[in-house]
Structure 1
Amino acid sequence: YHIGIKGIDEKGQRYSALNPDVFYWAHATFFKSTLLAAEKFGGGLTEDQKRQLFDEHIIWYRMYGMSMRPVPKTWEEFQEYWDHMCCNVLENNWAAREVMDLSTMPKHPSLQWVPDPLWRLNLKVMQHFLTFMTVALYDPPVRELMGYTWSPRQEWLHRRFCEVVTVATKVLPKRMLMHPRKRSAFDRATGRLPADSPLVETPARNLPPVEHRGNPMHYCPNVAGG
């Protein structure tokens, strides 16, 4: 997927998604997102659990076959690394802004029946929610870098929303809340499904257009109806 993501930025600097420092930073955000999700929506983690997740995120990263040079050696080093990236390395550039812009998001093929005016209204609502939830999880230096403000009222609203989600996750059936792949793995591990059951793949409705299905940049499993 990352091979073709390279070029020269607006400052004339070369960039590549396969640069080990860039590649690890992307992975670090996955790890950090796990911590934030547990903190905000799952009641938090103990220090031992954070250290365990840190160790596991290294095992996960090693599977990519990339250089381990940028990877912090300890949980403490990771925290220093994260703060350094947020305060001194990240940039407010086109890519960082564009990923937050939903204004040109096309309709999913399964939603073509939605009238255009209603779709535009939907995008506006989604945009507000995306911005609110994303900025809430930014480190303060990143908020400042990207030009966002965060008021005590916004913080209060975000905390209340997180509390509602946390309660819902404790009340609703555990399996209902799982992603289909996680649910399948959980069922295999607990004996609900045979251990050799086929892995769950995305349904055909989520596949890219036919002309792009041979492109290795896209996840495109061989599924029924695809």
Structure 2
Amino acid sequence: MQPLGPDSLTWRFFGDNRALLTGPRAGVLQLMLPELGLGVMEHSVFFNDTFGRLKRSAGPILNTVYGGAKAAETGAKVRDYHVDIKGTMPGGERYHALDPETYFWAHATFLDHMLYGVETFMRPLTEAEKQKIYEESKVWYAMYGVSDRAMPEDWPAFQEYWKRMLNERLDANKTAAYSVGYAKKGLPRPPRIPAPVWKVLGVPVNAVARFLTVGGMPPEARDILGLRWTRADERRYQKFAGFVRDLDGLWSVLPEFVKYSPQARKAFKRDGRPRPLSHV
């Protein structure tokens, strides 16, 4: 299967840096699947090097979209990182990171991350565009070489799948709770910043981190994780999102190193920029 390219909506949107405003939505939702949360707890340095792990994971995932002729090679490497991530759940069931249902859930959270980021901070998507992006996600997923038996057939089926996962399969396991702990307790002081400085600087930094983290989570996930979010918080969040959307004209004329991830910029230079948008 040919990898995604400039004619795809995914190329246009996935590497857009405005998606960073969604916070750690995808990562937290991944960890809320019990099998995935336990796998990370037992086989990852997540607890000792949380941000380092996230940074190391982001590049290869982006390159399964933007890697061009090497996308499948990158996808296979990402898949093979997970070969030995397996064990036993508390109830005695076996888990494996390459179980199609577990692996597809991780992929689904990246797809959701992109869709949520676009509609919240860029512009609304038509149903036809969502369907197109979902079909492109099948191409993206194929780069991993993992069974697609857990993948819903089409966009409406994916929506039902997403609702079912949020309402029936996720929990506040130790790994997931840890991943949003800073939203309740604040970020740890960076080693190079003196304690008196962080005491002042940490107040606005933690407020922004909490706002983006909790605001970017689905309501169902907030409830499961016990993340407090009021109607006033939601009004402020929607006002902020609207402000970002209103800046789209300014955003369009900024340099590409501001607008897009390094992986996307490299792909644009190699294979061409995304095609002009048209109604699909």
TM-score between both structures, scaled by the size of structure 1: 0.72
CA distance in 2, matches of 1:91, 1:158: 25
Over residues 88-114 of structure 1, what are the superposed CA-to-partner deviations in whole Å (9 max), with x where a residue is unaligned?
01111011111123467584xxxx643
Contact 2:189-2:195 at 8 Å conserved across structures = no
CA distance in 2, matches of 1:73, 1:88: 20
Partner of 1:32: 112
Over residues 27-48 of structure 1, what are the superposed CA-to-partner deviations in whole Å (9 max), with x where a residue is unaligned?
0000001110111001111111
1:55 aligns with 2:135: yes
- Superposed displacement of residue 66, structure 1: 0.6
Structure that is richer in helix per residue: 2
Length, aligned pairs only? 187
Describe the SS at the equivalent of 2:229: coil
Give the alignment of 1:187-198 within 5 angstroms. 187-190=269-272
Aligned Cα root-mean-square deviation (Å): 2.6
Partner of 1:184: 266
Greater CA deviation, 131-140 or 76-85? 131-140
Amino acid at match of 1:185: A
Describe the SS at the equivalent of 2:87: strand
CA distance in 2, matches of 1:170, 1:148: 34
Partner of 2:173: 93
CA distance in 1, matches of 2:196, 2:85: 34
Contact 2:189-2:198 at 8 Å conserved across structures = no
Amino acid at match of 1:148: L
Partner of 2:152: 72
- Superposed displacement of residue 149, structure 1: 3.2
Alignment CA distance shift 1:116-1:14 (3 Å) = farther
Over residues 56-90 of structure 1, what are the superposed CA-to-partner deviations in whole Å (9 max), with x where a residue is unaligned?
01111111111111000011100000000000011
Describe the SS at the equivalent of 1:138: coil
Contact 2:104-2:150 at 8 Å conserved across structures = yes
Over residues 163-205 of structure 1, what are the superposed CA-to-partner deviations in whole Å (9 max), with x where a residue is unaligned?
22223343032423111221232234448xxxxxxxxxxxxxx
TM-score between both structures, scaled by the size of structure 2: 0.59
Structure 1 segments unaligned to the other structure (5+ residues): 192-226
Partner of 1:199: none
- Superposed displacement of residue 8, structure 1: 3.6
Alignment CA distance shift 1:117-1:14 (3 Å) = farther
Partner of 2:162: 82
CA distance in 1, matches of 2:108, 2:145: 16
Contact 1:169-1:177 at 8 Å conserved across structures = no
Q: Which one of 240, 244, 253 corresponds to residue 165 of structure 1?
A: 244
Describe the SS at the equivalent of 1:15: strand
Structure 2 segments unaligned to the other structure (5+ residues): 1-80, 274-280
Amino acid at match of 2:141: Y
Q: Which has the higher contact order (CA 8 A, sep 6+)?
A: 2
1:156 aligns with 2:235: yes
